Structure 1
Amino acid sequence: MSVAGLLWRGAATLAAPLLPLYLRSRAERGKEIAERLPERHGDGAARPPGPLFWFHAASVGETLSILPLLPVMLRGRPGLHVLVTTGTVTSATLLAQRLPADVAPRVLHRFVPLDVPAWARRFLDAWRPDAGAFVESELWPNLLAAAAERRIPMALVNGRMSVRSARRWGWLPALARQTLSRFDVVLAQSPGDAERLAALGGRPVSAPGNLKFAADPLPADPAALAAVRALTAGRPVWLAASTHPGEEAMIAAAHRILAPARPGLLTIIVPRHPERGPAVAAELGTASRRAAGAEPGPDATIHIADTLGELGLFYRLADAAVIGGSLVPHGGQNPLEPARLGCPILAGPHMHNFAEIVGALEAAGGIRRLAASPAALADAVDAVLSSPDYGRSMAGAAALVAAQQAELPERVAAALLPLLPAQDTEEGRVTVEA
């Protein structure tokens, strides 16, 4: 093990006595579920019989990206169950909401243990996965080391390595090489990600494509959609989707610029983290908040949609949408979500987390970029509201980009299923002594 790896293992072990306080603090702020905190220590296993494949998806984006993959994996291996670990409450909730009824009984969820060696060992010894995959850029050294000790085949799926992250890992080349060597299969999102992962890990990496291109459209409850459409009929509507702190004030300022020339204008803001709803409403001086029971009725001008899992509803409603996280240096949110639902896409300058996708959308004319200012935002929204043909052209081009690589889940599953043991040897992994 590298010196950096030993230091990380030692630091995590020394920090372990303090981490329960950290977890309880997060639970008090709604970042954890109090009764499920033992899972963060590696407890709470309930391994089903037969083969078990483990996916670790850090948060919402990673979790949603593997949803199209799960049915393919389950069809490809009779008797297979899938364990999905995540690190956020929102991702756990959305996973439960989005799993198809025929898939849900064979998919289990747990919160991932923190990267403490003893907790990682406890987790793996109880669950005994036959194979596993980390999604995108989750590279936890102690969890991966524990999996390697138990000879659990591992993959990196939809692997992402930004230029900035590659530069940081480059400061610890031995740790980077050691960590990436734990993966038997590395599947990158793009050729650029593959090149950076290969350089850090010293091994070939394939780039079959980005699973975010293969996701299903975000769902919407038909009754809720019909009700909101009836309330907003005839009004120009634009959406700020998955916003982050610092963006809502800019959006409200753009609304004030647009409103005099747009009678009935409705601006809908969906915070990335719904628990921010009350603070956002207080900042903007609006009482129209969906989680508090308000609807975007005729008296609402700025409506805060601070509920979970309803973004698909508002993309279907809006005449245009600006992507949250792009007006502040966060890196943006997934622009393919509005693309699949025919909603014209606007985005600020900070979309580096989705550079490949944004590049494809820009080349096709499926997205409009803008400066991070209320005036630029108002100008972009006004351009779409003023010309429905322009908006439809953008949406059509974006939909074609979003439809690319529809067969990618099958290709990824074909690379992952061979990591499982032959069907006549499925006894689960044995416990390794600490």
Structure 2
Amino acid sequence: MQTHPLSLSFRTSLSLLVNDAVWTMATVLHAFAPHLRDNLRERLVLDLPEESSLSEGFDVWIQAESGGETLVAWEILKTLPPQGRLKILLTASTMDGLDALSKTAMDFSKTRPDLDIWTSSFPFDATNLMRKALLTYRPKVVVLLEAELHPGLMSQCTRLGVPLIVANARISTDKLAKCLGQNTMWREIAPRATLAVTENDASRFQLLFGEDKNVSSISNIKFDYLGEGDPIPFVENTLNRLFRPTASLAVFGSVHEEEEDDVIRAAARLHVKRPKTFIGIFPRLPYRTPAIKKALDDAGLPFVLRSQITSHVSAGTIILWDRFGELNAAYSMARAVFVGGSLHPLGGQNFLEPLHAGVIPIIGPYWRHFAWIGEGIVDQGLVTQVAGWKDLAEAMLSYLKRPKSREKVRKEASEYIRARQGGTVAVCHEIRKHLQAGFGYAKISR
């Protein structure tokens, strides 16, 4: 089926000119910033392959902004039903995201030989660049993930008639308020389908795109890849040379700079109340290690660096983790866990990781980045929320004294997650529906 190109109103065209001006400034910034220059040619659509080399073009173009959306893209590709050989384009806006997508492509080359996957940097969202990208890649369906709304790409999909889906979509009230200032543009370039992660998000998208647009709510795709695999058994845990199976371990994970003082106060109280408990402090970023060392010294707390430990440590040792990549291993051994980024308005960190290991995580009141999980996880007692460092210390002391059954915690967490799965199937159904409609580029000229 061939969809005829659509024209846009003067008001929308003016908004897109402003968008293009912003991306012109971004181009200059990238040209003069060495750390941004690596993928500049790709983002300016200067290194796209020749149209002839793509044969019939791509079936699906999936844009994953950064590393976080890569897992969502991975789940979609894993679930996409086999329907002959499909050519897939994966793009990302950051180098980390592009690296993650390249790894995804390699993994799928072994498990899904029916998928021919290409990866590339996402072009700057200027209308001329996006038109060139669409006419070169010629995707039959374009998929934007999560919180992404790219007016340059969306407008060109609208003008060329290319089906565009916004999947696993979310939009905050703040972002909605900003977008409503250009509501004419958003209504004219609205996607063919919007699959939002909550009913509230769906309502906000309907307000933005118009109530007559195809907007619905689905379960968050992230629930579909949660809980996969088994926790790390003690014999395979890389930390079994440090702790015995019966060790009492408290973990402060992913500690952000703003909450370091709170964590040290809580750790000091644990050290006094339970002098034989091991305490592990994991900075969110490596460069904060010297500052935390100084703060521990100032607080009079004895500690050792993880990098200095080669064998079992004495009971009651406070360990400052300056070796990264071992946090999940520590969660698998801990009796009590705090997950950082949540005592101050920082958005939170992934508290489902310790939950998967069978430990009820303790978090602060600020976890908007993970609000999609739902308040129900706190109401069901699978996560403990505290207001500040004193409550944090008391909650950790309680779990250290009476740790919950790991098997029971994992079972209840699995039930919570399982009841919220199925979003990926809904997205794949939408993609497949548009692929079967048979969109083509035969009558569209440059």
- TM-score when normalising by structure 2: 0.79
Deviation track 1:172-217 (CA, whole Å, cap 9, x = no partner) reads 32344345x1x11110101111111111110241112111111144
Whether 1:408 and 2:418 are equivalent positions in the alignment is no
> What is the aligned partner in structure 2 of residue 267 from structure 1?
280
In the superposition, relative to structure 1, how do residues 311 and 158 fare at CA in structure 2: closer, same or farther (>3 Å)? Answer: farther
2:194 corresponds to which of 147, 161, 186: 186
**Alpha-carbon separation, structure 2, partners of 1:221 and 1:44:** 44
Q: What letter is aligned with 1:173? A: N
> What is the aligned partner in structure 2 of residue 366 from structure 1?
382
> What is the aligned partner in structure 2 of residue 111 from structure 1?
121
**Alpha-carbon separation, structure 1, partners of 2:160 and 2:306:** 50
**Alpha-carbon separation, structure 1, partners of 2:39 and 2:45:** 11
In the superposition, relative to structure 1, how do residues 269 and 49 fare at CA in structure 2: closer, same or farther (>3 Å)? Answer: farther
2:43 corresponds to which of 23, 40, 45: 40
1:88 corresponds to which of 84, 87, 94: 94
In the superposition, relative to structure 1, how do residues 176 and 213 fare at CA in structure 2: closer, same or farther (>3 Å)? Answer: same
Is the partner of 1:156 in helix, strand or coil? strand
In the superposition, relative to structure 1, how do residues 376 and 36 fare at CA in structure 2: closer, same or farther (>3 Å)? Answer: same
- TM-score when normalising by structure 1: 0.81
1:19 corresponds to which of 23, 30, 46: 30
The alpha carbon displacement at 1:139 in A equals: 0.7
> What is the aligned partner in structure 2 of residue 332 from structure 1?
348
Whether 1:252 and 2:264 are equivalent positions in the alignment is yes
1:346 corresponds to which of 362, 365, 376: 362
The alpha carbon displacement at 1:242 in A equals: 4.2
**Alpha-carbon separation, structure 1, partners of 2:46 and 2:256:** 33
**Alpha-carbon separation, structure 1, partners of 2:100 and 2:263:** 26
Percentage of identical aligned residues: 23
In the superposition, relative to structure 1, how do residues 329 and 48 fare at CA in structure 2: closer, same or farther (>3 Å)? Answer: farther
Whether 1:235 and 2:238 are equivalent positions in the alignment is no
Structure 1 segment 32-431 matched on structure 2, within 5 A: 35-45=38-48, 51-73=58-80, 75-96=81-102, 99=107, 101-103=110-112, 106-179=116-189, 181=190, 183-202=191-210, 203-217=213-227, 225-233=236-244, 234-262=246-274, 263-269=276-282, 271=284, 276-277=285-286, 279-285=287-293, 288=305, 298=313, 301-304=318-321, 307=324, 312-371=328-387, 373-389=388-404, 395-420=410-435
> What is the aligned partner in structure 1 of residue 299 from structure 2?
none
**Alpha-carbon separation, structure 1, partners of 2:350 and 2:186:** 27
Number of equivalent positions: 411
Q: Which runs of 5+ in 2 are unaligned?
A: 1-8, 294-302
In the superposition, relative to structure 1, how do residues 160 and 311 fare at CA in structure 2: closer, same or farther (>3 Å)? Answer: farther
Is the 1:13–1:117 contact (alpha carbons within 8 Å) kept by the matching residues of 2? no
Q: What letter is aligned with 2:175? A: S
Is the 1:12–1:116 contact (alpha carbons within 8 Å) kept by the matching residues of 2? yes
Is the 2:45–2:123 contact (alpha carbons within 8 Å) kept by the matching residues of 1? yes
The alpha carbon displacement at 1:348 in A equals: 1.0
Deviation track 1:52-84 (CA, whole Å, cap 9, x = no partner) reads 3111122233222332221122x3332113222
In the superposition, relative to structure 1, how do residues 80 and 201 fare at CA in structure 2: closer, same or farther (>3 Å)? Answer: same
The 10-residue stretch of structure 1 (221-230 or 404-413) with the greater mean CA deviation from structure 2? 221-230
Is the 1:137–1:161 contact (alpha carbons within 8 Å) kept by the matching residues of 2? yes
**Alpha-carbon separation, structure 2, partners of 1:337 and 1:325:** 14
Q: What letter is aligned with 2:27? A: A
The alpha carbon displacement at 1:135 in A equals: 0.8
Is the partner of 1:246 in helix, strand or coil? helix
**Alpha-carbon separation, structure 2, partners of 1:429 and 1:245:** 55
Is the 1:150–1:432 contact (alpha carbons within 8 Å) kept by the matching residues of 2? no
Is the 1:12–1:117 contact (alpha carbons within 8 Å) kept by the matching residues of 2? no
Is the partner of 1:366 in helix, strand or coil? coil
Is the partner of 2:217 in helix, strand or coil? coil
The alpha carbon displacement at 1:109 in A equals: 2.9
**Alpha-carbon separation, structure 1, partners of 2:254 and 2:347:** 12
Q: What letter is aligned with 1:350? A: Y
Which one has the largest radius of gyration?
A: 2
Is the partner of 1:76 in helix, strand or coil? coil
In the superposition, relative to structure 1, how do residues 149 and 177 fare at CA in structure 2: closer, same or farther (>3 Å)? Answer: closer
**Alpha-carbon separation, structure 1, partners of 2:131 and 2:194:** 23
Is the 1:52–1:81 contact (alpha carbons within 8 Å) kept by the matching residues of 2? yes
Q: What letter is aligned with 2:271? A: A
**Alpha-carbon separation, structure 2, partners of 1:345 and 1:258:** 16
**Alpha-carbon separation, structure 1, partners of 2:95 and 2:233:** 25
**Alpha-carbon separation, structure 2, partners of 1:65 and 1:380:** 33
The alpha carbon displacement at 1:361 in A equals: 0.4
The 10-residue stretch of structure 1 (159-168 or 44-53) with the greater mean CA deviation from structure 2? 44-53
